[in-house]
Amino acid sequence: MLRLDSQKDKPDRLRLYNAVKESMAEGVKIVIPNELRERAENDKAYLKRVFATNYGVTNPDSPRQVQEVLAELSESYPGIAFHCYDAVTGKWTSKAKALEQLRGLNLKFVDDLILYRNTTAFTKAFDSLEKACDGNGFIHPDISFQVTNRVSYSNPGLMSIPKKLLWQVVQPRKTGWSIWRVDIKNQEPWIFINKLGIKRLQEFLKLSGQLGLYKLIYQDIYGVLPNDIQYKEMKIAWNALTYGSSKKSLIESTFHMGETETCPSDNGRAFYDWYSSFPEIKNYQKEIRSMAYGGKRIIDTVFGTPIQLEHCPPSAASRRLMDYWIQGTGADILAFLVTNFLNYIETYHLQDDLRFYYTRHDEVILEMSPRFLNHAGAGPAADKLRYVFKHTIDDWAPCELEVEKVESITDLAELSSDEEG
């Protein structure tokens, strides 16, 4: 296990950059199955007919037409106006972030609109990737670092490939090889809880391996495990409060939390009270607001990497200060992990069996040879990768990892469903 010292260890960002640069120079292999493209185009055409027939929307790509329907629906569902209407400017929005907050209302129009946009994203991704491919079916994205030091890919935007589509089109570069992903589970809550030293939640992290952190939290508050919708809302609620949302915003965006067959939803009120009961969180939020309104626009990660905010008013600075140090710490950790993986390959002379592919948010994407996989077996191979990527900081409990061989979805109907799955 990799043991990191927050005071002494510094991420080798140059080595990460060079590893990604070399990999992108070789390229990412892209294969677009014809039946997948046809399915997406047919689904898009069908949904266009649905919008014209059921909602009077002749062009679902038109924000104006979509917003007119949202405005009409808001007369019966006030929650729509909270997320989609700006009373100051008098303007409506139908952006993805706003629509995501409306999922809990179970409105067919919103569900159809999200489905249409997912399908449209598929067709746009196909066009973008095909244009960017070289003569051998490889793309070679440009790379840069975001403000939080996450790796960013452009021309084409590798990160913008819809999640459900990703492993249908991104393929291993060598015949017979397999793609593996190493995902750091609940990385941002893990960083937040441990840095603030919230002992009770640190115990939750230790127990989260079987149920998962968000299910444990929900059970602690409501006494039962959440269903799928409640689980998603729990995750949204945690992130919303961690990054500076208000109680009012939380209540307007959680429609099923606490809901049972005999009890209506409390719209996240119990979660808000539970979250706000931790003095460590109260003190932290007070400190961040003091920094923001005191004019501070720079914050350090756990490892002392400074993150510089762009110029912004105090309210926005407060939210970004809460966000950037956590994301920046995650980026630092990813640099440590890639460096450790490269060292492992070199130490054990595994250059012909294991290869770094690229990073994706808090994931490391790898390639494995059939020889290595067949010799070790899928389970032991995953265990080897887990050993290499397992890590902790100072006296924190080790993070949980999800290590898996990537498999393509064979049922095309699944690809047209809810993007988050």
* Predicted local distance difference test score (pLDDT) of residue 419: 44
Instruction: Identify whether 204 is part of a domain.
Output: no
Which secondary structure element, helix H or strand E, spans residue 185, and what is its range?
strand 178-185
Please state the φ and ψ torsions of residue 101, each to the nearest 5 degrees.
-75, -15
Say what the pTM is.
0.89
Name residues whose C-beta falls within 8 Å of residue 113's C-beta, 6 or more positions apart in sequence: 60, 66, 94, 99
DSSP string, 295-348: T--EEE-TT--EEEPPS--HHHHHHHHHHHHHHHHHHHHHHHHHHHHHHHHHHT
In 224-287, the DSSP E strands lie at: none
Residue 210 lies in a domain: no
CB contact at 8 A, 66 and 73 = no
C-beta separation of 365 from 179 below 8 A: yes
Give 351's strand partners. Answer: none
Question: Which structural domain, as residue segments, surrounds residue 82?
Answer: 32-136
Residues 81 and 71: their CA atoms lie apart, in Å, by 7
Residue 187 in any domain: the answer is no
Whichever domain contains 41, its CATH number is 1.20.1060
* Residue 71 forms part of a structural domain: yes
Torsion of CA 190, 193, 196, 201, to 10 degrees: -150
Q: Do the Cβ atoms of 218 and 225 come closer than 8 Å? A: yes
CA 205/CA 189 separation, integer angstroms? 9
Q: Is residue 359 part of a domain?
A: no
Closest CA to 303 of 321, 328, 340, 323: 328
Beta partners for residue 379, in sequence order: none
In a domain, 121, yes or no: yes
Is 179 domain-assigned?
no
What's residue 411's pLDDT? 52
Please report, for residues 29, 94, 131, 159, 244, the alpha-carbon distance to residue 156 in angstroms, rounded to integers and kept in the order given.
13, 25, 9, 9, 32
Q: Give the long-range contacts of residues 20-25, CB within 8 A, separation 24 or more.
A: 20/143, 20/151, 20/358, 20/359, 21/143, 23/355, 23/356, 23/357, 23/358, 24/140, 24/141, 24/142, 24/143, 24/153, 24/358, 25/140
Nearest to 306 by CA among 102, 412, 147: 147
Whether 236 is in a domain gets the answer no
The predicted pLDDT at position 88 comes to 79
Q: What domain count does the chain have?
A: 1
Mean pLDDT per 10-residue segment, the chain (421 residues): 96 97 98 91 96 96 95 89 84 87 84 93 92 96 96 93 89 96 95 96 88 93 93 91 89 84 90 96 96 96 96 93 97 98 97 97 95 89 95 92 83 51 38
